[in-house]
């Protein structure tokens, strides 16, 4: 039987492709498991009409809980509640965000915080602000005529070191 001959260049590119696949998979695996990068998860469901009476969204703001520091934010056309979020630097904070009306987004400038806010779903993300400072948080999904006015601030204060 005749052996199948593969052209030298084709063979080289096949090998190169295989190596790239392995490298990209390794990079993805390292980012996900080594560095803890992951997509913000859908952590629960909530009735949009009952957001105001459902914990933790009945009390938006930054709170100390048994599970750590939590920043609860409610999005609506066209504002965030609270509009000003104060968190300490150097401490992990769990963002819990939902929308009461239409699809909004939440991006905190200068960070990788980028959430889709779907009515009926709770978006959750853990994040640690390393440096004190001020960040703009903006809605990045077009949500109606007031979209461009939908923003707030995240103020990162000098951490207590705890
Ligand atoms: Cu909310 Cu754009």
**Each residue's pLDDT tens digit, 39-78:** 666 678 888 888 889 889 999 999 999 989 999 999 999 9
> d(Cα 61, Cα 70) in Å, to the nearest integer?
8
Structure tokens that stand for 50 in this block: 């009952």
- Residue with tokens 């295989």, as numbered in its chain: 18
State which ligand 1 atom lies nearest to the alpha carbon of 99.
1
Residue 36 has pLDDT above 80, yes or no: no
Residue 154 has pLDDT above 70, yes or no: yes
State which ligand 1 atom lies nearest to the alpha carbon of 117.
1
Length of the chain: 162
Q: What pLDDT does 43 receive? A: 74
Give the DSSP H/E element, type plus range, for residue 63. strand 61-65
> d(Cα 126, Cα 36) in Å, to the nearest integer?
10
Structure tokens that stand for 109 in this block: 């400038």
> d(Cα 57, Cα 93) in Å, to the nearest integer?
16
Structure tokens that stand for 67 in this block: 């599970």
How many whole angstroms from 104 Cα to the centroid of ligand 1? Answer: 5
How many whole angstroms from 38 Cα to the centroid of ligand 1? Answer: 23
How many whole angstroms from 118 Cα to the centroid of ligand 1? Answer: 11
Beta strand pairing call for 133-138 and 104-108: antiparallel
Residue 162 has pLDDT above 60, yes or no: no
> d(Cα 114, Cα 102) in Å, to the nearest integer?
17
> d(Cα 22, Cα 4) in Å, to the nearest integer?
25
How many whole angstroms from 19 Cα to the centroid of ligand 1? Answer: 42
Residue 139 contacts residue 105 (beta carbons within 8 Å): yes
**Each residue's pLDDT tens digit, 5-31:** 889 999 999 999 999 999 999 999 998
How many whole angstroms from 123 Cα to the centroid of ligand 1? Answer: 15
Pocket of ligand 1 (CB under 6 A): 78, 104, 139, 141-143, 147, 150
State which ligand 1 atom lies nearest to the alpha carbon of 143.
2
State which ligand 1 atom lies nearest to the alpha carbon of 146.
2
């Amino acid at each position: 039987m005749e052996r199948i001959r593969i052209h030298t260049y084709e063979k080289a590119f096949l090998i190169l492709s295989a190596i790239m696949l392995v490298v990209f998979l390794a990079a993805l695996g390292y980012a996900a498991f080594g560095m803890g990068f992951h997509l913000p998860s859908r952590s629960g469901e909530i009735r949009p009409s009952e957001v105001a009476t459902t914990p933790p969204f009945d009390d938006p703001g930054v709170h100390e809980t048994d599970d750590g520091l939590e920043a609860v934010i409610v999005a609506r056309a066209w504002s965030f509640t609270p509009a000003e979020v104060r968190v300490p630097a150097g401490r992990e904070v769990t963002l819990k965000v939902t929308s009461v009306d239409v699809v909004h987004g939440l991006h905190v400038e200068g960070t990788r915080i980028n959430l889709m806010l779907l009515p009926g779903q709770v978006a959750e993300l853990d994040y640690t602000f390393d440096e004190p400072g001020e960040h703009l948080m903006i809605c990045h999904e077009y949500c109606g005529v007031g979209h461009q006015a939908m923003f707030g601030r995240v103020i990162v204060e000098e951490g207590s070191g705890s």
